[in-house]
Structure 1
Amino acid sequence: AEEKKEPEAEAAAEKEETAAVEAEKAAPVAAAVVDKDVALWGVPLLPSKGDEATDVVLLKFLRARDFKAGAAFDMLRRTLRWRREWKSLAATAADGDDDEGDALPEGACVLDGADREGHPVCYNALGVFADEAVYRSALGTDGGKKPARFLRWRVRAMERHVAELDFRPGGAASLLQVTDLRGSPGPARKDLRVAMKQVLDLFQDNYPELVARNILINVPFSYYAFTTVFFPFLTQRTKSKLVVARPSKVTETLLKYIPIEAIPVKYGGLKRDGDTEFACEHDAEIAEVVVKANSTETIEMEATEVQQKDHNCYVIILIQNCRAD
């Protein structure tokens, strides 16, 4: 009798297991909630939106994680979460005023001109923080709130600059950063060093591949040791984009990446703020002629006839990178 019960028990157990599986299949599956309007830097992230800039933005995250899709997706997800939690991002590029004096000191971070590849150039002058009042305002220890103010300054500036980028295929989708260390407080000021480290981490994690090149200029000897402190925290891609120039090499270094007419005069270029004497129309072209060794070239320039006899006409010919080959 016991031998007959065993097959019956097995059949009952199998029937019960089958019923449980069928019930699980029949149970309603919770649908994943997808934000169809999710966007980053004004670009929709879902391909179904049909925006040609979507692939450009997603590719930045893939490159930042060496084309490992899982790591890139996780980075994108954390970036979106950070942007929701970062309250100061309420001040976007369209906002003119900052609350509670949360505005960068004049000249600290300025977008000016473009490099040879069309990337907007951002000039950062750390020398403004040598002023004790500015330093305390940005990095003082007022109840632990001021270091966060420095981050708000830098993030808001970055958001305004990103708004100037063109994420369409072939557009200028990254910045060229020029950081001037002339007159900066120096490595001894711990608050600035900590704040710069925080900005570095924050930008690497949440603004991937938005800096085409990072050029440090007017770097004193002491800062070579200072920059080595940051190197362990830099990704390999970030390290490959870093250029360091001593004071004697500033103009020479910038000329490799930026046209001389777009480099400010203080860095050895020809660009002056508000200078209209040598300004040209927006659609005018700048001619560039390569003259080989032991050869001559003829340059023709159109000139408007001047009626006044006292008027003098000046022609400036700039010769760069001359060498005898």
Structure 2
Amino acid sequence: MATQLSRSEERNATPKEKLEWTKEEEEEEKEFKECVEEPNGSLTPVIDDSLESNELDKQKLAIMRAFVEGEDSSAKDVDDFMLRRFLRARDLDIEKASAMFLKYLSWRRSAIPGGFISVSELSTNLAHNKLFMQGVDKKGRPIVVGFGNRHKQGNLEEFIRFVIFFLEKVCSRIPRGQEKFVCIGDLQGWGYSNSDIRGYRAALSILQDCYPERLGKLYLVHVPYIFMTAWKMVYPFIDKKTKNKISFVEDKKLKSTLLDDINESQLPDAYGGKLSLVPIQDC
């Protein structure tokens, strides 16, 4: 079943509300015109494969592909959607996007030589039980929930591998017709013992440089004032596109804010929804 959607119909927005949409949301709205209703009642966007319809320059993509395949033959195994994400991350600058992508291919060979990371390599971080995945938002994007107070500073190399494991896992669960995921970062109980600036910066670097245009939105909830000290140290390393996807949510508006973007049937029960959280390693 296909359903035509428009943002004005979906949210019944007033002119004032329309002015409050972010540029990122407006760009995403242009990426799809219809959704498929899944058995669980969620709507999965169907993205038009036509680059013209997505306002991307088909010629630039072709030039980028020819160049990167000439530099690294493994680029032939990559689909146009991945190259398009790197192009978007560099504002359609072919030279910058190509350099970014070739660096990613080299990084991937050294970081994930066998193509995957085993849970046996991540015993400490998995024992913290800090990352979960359950449900999808109204755009069909998988929902990840992370509990900041469960993270402890430890071996940086293992944490980096844990971050890669998580990103590979969630990206493999992104449904047909979608390219992004959303995350709820729960900081209730966060304290200085959880402050891991090196780890945060490393995770941010991997997300932005190796998995560009994968994060759709990050909701930071139950944010204690003490967290802002760490935030000020991390903020300068966040690129503009990622900053536009981060939203600090007031406690009193938590459920209503999440329900704006997530159906109650898909919202984790920790926030008043219907679904139980599932540890990332069990997804």
Decide which of 254, 265, 271 is 1:261's aligned counterpart.
265
Please tell me whether residue 82 in structure 1 is matched to residue 107 in structure 2: yes
Larger Rg: 1
Please tell me whether residue 213 in structure 1 is matched to residue 235 in structure 2: no
Please tell me whether residue 197 in structure 1 is matched to residue 222 in structure 2: no
1:227-285 deviations in whole A, cap 9, x for unaligned? 233221111111111111133222122112111111122212233469xxxxxxxxxxx
TM-superposed deviation, 1:82: 0.7
Distance 1:154 1:147 in 2: 10
TM-superposed deviation, 1:206: 0.7
Aligned position for 1:57: 82
Aligned residue type for 1:58: L
Distance 1:272 1:105 in 2: 19
Decide which of 89, 92, 104 is 2:116's aligned counterpart.
92
- Which ranges of structure 2 fall in alignment gaps of 5 or more residues? 1-68, 279-283
Q: Which moved more, 1:153-162 or 1:70-79?
A: 153-162
- Which ranges of structure 1 fall in alignment gaps of 5 or more residues? 1-31, 46-53, 130-134, 141-145, 275-325
Distance 1:36 1:269 in 2: 46
Aligned residue type for 2:275: K
Please tell me whether residue 163 in structure 1 is matched to residue 184 in structure 2: no
Aligned position for 1:67: 92
Decide which of 123, 141, 164 is 2:145's aligned counterpart.
123
Distance 2:277 2:193 in 1: 32
**Does structure 1 conserve the Cα–Cα contact (< 8 Å) formed by 2:182 and 2:216?**
yes
**Does structure 1 conserve the Cα–Cα contact (< 8 Å) formed by 2:269 and 2:277?**
no
TM-superposed deviation, 1:67: 0.9
Aligned residue type for 2:86: F
Instruction: Give percent identity, aligned residues only.
Output: 25
* 3-state secondary structure, aligned to 1:262: coil
Structure-to-structure mapping, 1:107-122, within 5 angstroms: 107-122=129-144
More helix as a share of residues? 2
1:72-114 deviations in whole A, cap 9, x for unaligned? 0000000111111115x64727x5x423726523641112110
Distance 1:211 1:178 in 2: 11
TM-score by length of 2: 0.66
Work out which structure has the larger RCO, using CA pairs closer than 8 Å and 6 or more positions apart in sequence: 2
Decide which of 246, 250, 263 is 2:254's aligned counterpart.
250
- Where does structure 1 differ by over 4 angstroms across 4 or more consecutive aligned residues? 32-37
Aligned position for 2:158: 149
* 3-state secondary structure, aligned to 1:261: coil
Aligned residue type for 1:56: F
Distance 1:177 1:125 in 2: 11
Instruction: Mark the CA change 1:102 to 1:189 in structure 2 (over 3 Å): closer, same or farther.
Output: closer
Aligned residue type for 2:263: P
Aligned residue type for 1:175: F
* 3-state secondary structure, aligned to 1:260: coil
Distance 1:273 1:156 in 2: 18
Aligned residue type for 2:165: R
* 3-state secondary structure, aligned to 1:110: strand
Distance 1:239 1:34 in 2: 32
1:177-233 deviations in whole A, cap 9, x for unaligned? 11111122x2x3486222111111121111100011111111112223432332211
TM-superposed deviation, 1:70: 0.2
